[in-house]
Structure 1
């Protein structure tokens, strides 16, 4: 074993990937060496144009950590008078740094040419190393959200999947060692304390479970080889930690602790979706043909519009404890494809490509006697309940959402269906109208006839650009739309212009944030504070660097999807919530899972890492009074900390690295900067 109190030799290698080091220290470069290279210094050499950094954008979670808190802007730094920040620590790694990422628990994962390393973000100490994982492509790195686990998935011909506990370096799973074949999916099950891996090989299919702290295999259950499983529903975990798993035409319930099959049933068609009745022990299983959009969104594969809307599918209700059928007959559609479901208290809405229906939980009976053709679509785009009727939006293949409004019998109440752009993100009834915000417009609908209240000059549409919107303290909605900052007052069914007397340079605003002293508009290269009376408090514009950082930074812009999640999805709070394949998109469920898993992952962790992990899930991204900003002057690249309340620069991070590589932890408020080929510096913000 390596002596962890001494510098690690570049020749230190291991044959067994399971063998890792215990915590220790990396070599800390002397202060004189840091000064010589210019880390934390204001005097710098001119730097050449960086190499292509497209690889920096390949990990979705890594991109979110680099960008979410911070809508990274581009500005000229070196003429500023802000204080030059010095690193809180700097370490020398055992090899040349290829990339670095932050996992969900704040651990810095550093990939070098001679191994993969876990670094304590508080002091730079080495937590673990796996020296057989050399030159890992960043494209192969992922985090398993809400856990400290990291997944290394080789996508080449000799594909290999590894799952590593980022807190202690334990190898939880190695597909090559287990010889399982192709990995279909991975899922963390807190109730069972394990990571579940679904796999397929020439001999059949299976599920195996590994303890997600120690890496010990808990169980392995195999099945006969399934056919036609292009769209395989995500497993469902019941309240007892048992697993509902669909595989082709077969459906299983497994004991989450042992892997034993509790019950099994089969079907004539392949299963495509699973969901549970709220507060009941009833499982609904959908089999047959999915709509094109449903298929593409749940597989990542493109099948195109040529497949058409015609098909067939069925829904069955099963007793969750026994797997026995509850309904006398299935709900069958012989000419349409399945588009999704929305669950209510006593019934659920069933969407398909040609029409939509309302189904009774207890009997499977159709509560709407006749489903009107032309009220379906490729995907549900929102549901709303009013005292006048039920509304639901169905999206076509090009993003137009047609709003249907029906009475208790399912009969249309409007002669013509209004059309909006994008899905509904917020809605609320005001008297005889429905106020709504979609991804690209906002308006009122008259609930008597479905006409829009605002037309002509009053019509607020962003066209093809997603609107940016925040809700102010008085309940009004402030949004940037069509070159104007406006205030929408739903209770008055009116809006007023705050200001249009401003101009971004070279781009349109794509982010909007509510501040105590006004509204912050941001883009890639601009930052502007506008007071509530419409006066510009400050405007910062800085030219963009020519390097490929621009595309990377654009991912940090807060668009409508991010801004509107704070409103919550209205359907779940007033009657019908998106279920089945859409459940996995519920940010609030994911947050609850994070809070549940943190206790089990940190049960044996020492040195303050457990407290650090727990604290991360109590933070709210975007509540800080500063932004971290990447900038360039001449050939130099660096960072600036800017106060978003005043626009003043509060600190600079300066490096002589010609090709700066970095990772940002928005929750831990740290910047990790590659300060040399084999060195990392950490700056506290």
Structure 2
């Protein structure tokens, strides 16, 4: 199966073939001299490479011969001072600790649109001396800033303030003070404690004094005494708001319910153990998943929307970390990382006859025509989604495999699973299992990707590619010996950065993101092998935001990936380490790029087909991999 991460994956390998037929491409399309030492390179979800240098940030778009922007206002940035906002073209730059912990120390924030290259917000330019919070709000495409702004008389310069900016127009929508400037009396702490919630008719700000609701012009609407809220979620009507408060020791989360006029709708708040990682408002109640701190264990609760009371007399025992969580018409389906799948009705009844035992690390849980297909590092099966009964007479079991690849062969109506060097064919109707082939990859690798190409099976790993006929007979197997392990590890360090910029909508709660319940269908069970679904969902989501940068991102996700017919592989060529473009149908090299570096630092944009290579401390080369 392929997904968004597959499109951004960075693959390392080496070549021991004769490259006489390969197209030489040693000259970069563009050379970017950044004028300062390069510390890190990050490929964004929008396809722009961000280089962190000793001077600041530089944005590189391969469609342009010069950088699209250079941001040096704050100087050299630490990695933790740069935040790539998921599912957006925005970067938030932060310097200085949160002001409530920093005394009078100055804090600075900036927001960059890396696609246009424009600095949308700079706290220095707008005279903000201290910043409490700086949050991007989607899909409204707004920026909400709170803190102390050095404007107005001496009292206004000391009074906490909130400002809302429109990210499309880069203009201030409105601003207001959280307290009356110059108010006489005992000083009160109005610092903002969490992410404000922007609704159609109001903005709700969580402060140390409680919740404050303002109109979109900044007029007072109501106040609520609930203090210390970290983030909030509203239902689709925006008449019911849920606030989440993490306790001081971080071991529990308190959930509060507030009405659209600030009234407390629950008599008592609801406490759950750990941090809330998933939360969904349903007609039958509220589903909550919380992860216990410093323990690989989750809890699932189903609460009454009217009272907050637990609707299940006995919560299901997870006995591990909830790795998969899906809401269906008849109940909640979940899978445990340590192994096990179960389904609970909304009234707390177990829908499966008994909890399904599985191997650890459930890599796949997906809908198929025959039922729920699951694939773990040890076994696979299809089960009836209503009863949990096995569709296959018994699970397919194999040795614990570091990677398991699978796909569906529609021409023969069968599932294909590659694990620990063996390819299994499972008839979709009967469930009969056949060992179709044994594939021995060099360097003790196993296949981590598999796809059907013209009724043939293509398999790949970091160092190997192979093509088999539908009868399992080998058509080709090519092995590309890896460069030094140290270089390989350094290259792959970029994967984490790329993944962090991906479409993390499924766990908006984990990011503390403010959203209405309607923004993103977080807990839908995907269809097996429907790898285009997530791309289309991303493209549609970007297109729904009326901004040119999001339209460009939508277009990118509608494009055919450059990896559809080729695999990009790092190798040691005759003259040194380089990257090769391998044709999936032939296994032959169509292009090679000599990098002349034993431990190259690079990023590959596998959608656009671009290689970014750090040629020296201050220079980046961009190579076109498609031609």
Q: How high is the TM-score relative to the length of structure 1?
A: 0.66
- 1:469 equivalent to 2:427? Answer no
1: CA distance between counterparts of 2:272 and 2:47? 51
1:274 paired with 2:232, answer: yes
The verdict on how the C-alpha distance between 1:313 and 1:513 changes in structure 2, with shifts beyond 3 A counting, is same
**Matched-pair contact (CA < 8 Å) for 1:70–1:556:** no
In the TM superposition, what is the alpha-carbon distance from 1:74 to its structure 2 partner? 1.2
- Whether 2:210 is the aligned partner of 1:250: answer yes
Q: Is the 8 A contact 2:417 2:423 kept in 1?
A: yes
Size of the alignment, in residue pairs?
A: 564
Aligned-partner Cα distance in 2 for 1:355–1:401: 15
Corresponding residue of 1:95: 35
- Residue 164 of structure 2 aligns with which residue? 209
- 1:149 and 2:76 equivalent? no
Structure 1 spans left out of the alignment, 5+ residues? 1-63, 296-301, 570-577, 603-609
1:165 corresponding residue in structure 2: 113
Q: Deviations over 1:153-192 (max 9, x none)?
A: 458998744322334543223345544546655314453x
Structure 2 gap ranges (5+): 150-156, 179-187, 293-297, 508-515, 525-533
| CA–CA separation in structure 2 for the residues paired with 1:369 and 1:165 | 46
CA contact (8 A) 1:638 1:652 kept: yes
Compared CA separation, residues 356 and 636, structure 1 to 2 (3 A): closer
Q: CA deviation at 1:625?
A: 0.6
Match in the other structure for 1:15: none
Q: In the alignment, what sits opposite 2:481?
A: 543
Aligned twin of 1:186: 135
Secondary structure of 1:74's aligned partner: coil
Q: Give the direction of change, closer, same or farther, for the CA distance of 1:383–1:111 in structure 2 (3 Å limit).
A: closer
- Structure 1 counterpart SS, 2:564: coil
In the TM superposition, what is the alpha-carbon distance from 1:273 to its structure 2 partner? 5.6
Give how far 1:385 is off.
4.6
Alignment CA distance shift 1:181-1:461 (3 Å): farther
Given that 1:594 and 1:617 are in contact with CA atoms closer than 8 Å, whether structure 2 keeps it comes out as: no
The normalised TM-score by structure 2 is: 0.71
Aligned to 1:519: 457
- Cα deviation for residue 524 of structure 1 reads 2.0
User: Pairwise mapping of residues 31-42 of structure 1 onto structure 2 (< 5 A)?
Assistant: none
More moved, 73-82 vs 110-119: 110-119
Aligned to 1:630: 570
Offset from partner CA, 1:235-284 (integer Å, 9 cap, x none): 5544x3854554568334455x54555443232x754663333x433434
Kept in 1: contact 2:10–2:604 (CA 8 A):
no
* CA RMSD after TM alignment: 5.0
* Residue in structure 2 matched with residue 285 of structure 1 by the alignment: 242
Contact 2:242 2:256 in 1 (8 A): yes
CA shift for structure 1 position 211: 4.0
Give the Cα separation in 2 of the matches to 1:367 and 1:547: 52
Q: 1:648 to 1:96 in 2, by over 3 A?
A: same
Structure-1 separation of matches of 2:321 and 2:517: 16
The answer to whether the aligner puts 1:478 opposite 2:416 as a matched pair is: yes
Q: Is the 8 A contact 1:350 1:358 kept in 2?
A: yes
Alpha-carbon distance in 2 for matches of 1:138, 1:336:
27
Shift of 1:149: 3.0
In structure 2, do the counterparts of structure 1 residues 70 and 241 end up closer, same or farther at CA, with 3 Å as the change threshold?
A: farther
Instruction: From the superposition, tell whether residues 632 and 155 of structure 1 become closer, same or farther in structure 2 (CA, over 3 Å).
Output: farther
1:626 and 1:518 map into 2 onto residues whose CA distance is 15
Contact kept, 8 Å, 1:524 with 1:557, in 2: the verdict is: no
Q: Taking structure 1 as reference, are residues 393 and 249 closer, same or farther at Cα in structure 2, changes over 3 Å only?
A: farther
Contact in 1 for aligned 2:419/2:447 (Cα 8 Å): no
1:670 is matched with 610
Equivalent position of 1:122 in the other structure: 63
Contact 1:282 1:318 in 2 (8 A): yes
Match of 1:74 among 3, 13, 27: 13
User: What is the distance in 1 between the residues matched to 2:469 and 2:209?
Assistant: 60
| CA deviation string 1:549-587 (max 9, x = no partner) | 3124446889xx99xx9xx99xxxxxxxx9699977996
Alpha-carbon distance, 1:443 to partner? 2.2
1:542 offset after TM fit, Å?
Answer: 2.0
Distance change in 2, residues 1:124/1:462 (3 Å): farther
Check whether the contact 2:488–2:599 (CA below 8 A) recurs between aligned residues: no
Q: What is the aligned partner in structure 1 of residue 547 from structure 2?
A: 599
Any conservation in 2 of the 1:440–1:464 contact (CA below 8 Å)? yes
Match of 1:460 among 379, 386, 397: 397
Does structure 1 residue 506 correspond to structure 2 residue 444? yes
Structure 1 match to 2:154? none
**Offset, 1:526:** 1.7
Aligned to 1:264: 223
Whether the aligned pair in 1 keeps the contact of 2:12 and 2:571 (CA below 8 Å) is yes
